[in-house]
Amino acid sequence: MNEKKGNENSAVDAEKNIHTDFLNTMTYGEYLSLDKILSSQVRLSDHHDELLFIIIHQVNELWMKLILHEVNSAIECIQRDELSTAFKRLARVSKIQAQIISAWDVLSTLTPAEYMEFRDSLGQASGFQSYQYRMIEFALGYKTSHILKIYKKDPSLHSQLEKAFHAPSIYDVSIKALAKAGFDINPEVLNRDYSIPYKNDASVKKAWLEVYKNVDQYWDLYQLAEKLVDIEDWLQQWRFRHMKTVERIIGFKPGTGGSSGVNYLKKVLEHRFFSELWDIRTEL
């Protein structure tokens, strides 16, 4: 008994410098604004599982905020020829994507019967309307103008989306990096309207093929290409888990936002962001 008490006293003595007086200094909770974050889970029903539904989606939006932070920084780094820094940013994005994918495992503990108890409370609100997800798609090069109509309700937000819609994607700046390295890239690709969806180009495909055939000579471009493939791979896995989770919980019912639900999510799986990087694998 005395030995145990002695160990406890030693532990207390070892941590005697721990701060306990925060009358005039900032606490952990204040730094993180936990009062705002933890009071933002407002249920519209009395059902126990609505809290799970809200938290999963809020956490995903926080991760998406960080993805945008990292991808936009990577775009700027590539434009400044700081590829090694861009690689760091994109590697982090892939790790974040793994976290978002694992969140579907938690949400899929929600059964169809439980979700039906509060689904009507959502009205027409839907993950389809996630503006951060749309901005991620824009940053990766998937531009769809009809999506912008959803956000006209908020002029400030609509302006942000318009700016992202017309900005070069990470694939656009990567193609320009190929041109800077001396590859003969079609001028129409280099000077194109970024709001128009990108279409496969033979000169871009030829350049990437050359990079993959001469890895030692074009190591940085090869690394860039593989980082892009990583991100698209993880994004498609996220889309697949999303689709299967929705199917598991609501089957083939239409989404609350008016989409066809699972059928829409299956169709989205067919889209590719960096198509040349996938096509060249067949030819190597």
Can you say which residues are annotated as belonging to the binding site for heme? 242
CA distances (Å), origin 87, targets 74, 222, 224, 226, 227: 8, 11, 7, 10, 7
Residues of each annotated binding site: 53-57, 115, 119, 242, 256
Spatial CB neighbours of 78, under 8 Å, sequence gap ≥ 6? 86, 170, 173, 174, 177, 224
Residue 92 CB neighbour total at 10 angstroms: 17
Residues of each annotated binding site for substrate: 53-57, 115, 119, 256
Spatial CB neighbours of 115, under 8 Å, sequence gap ≥ 6? 49, 53, 249, 250
Q: Which contiguous run of DSSP H or E holds residue 184?
A: none
Residue 221 CB neighbour total at 10 angstroms: 23
Rounded Cα–Cα distance for residues 244 and 54 (Å) = 19
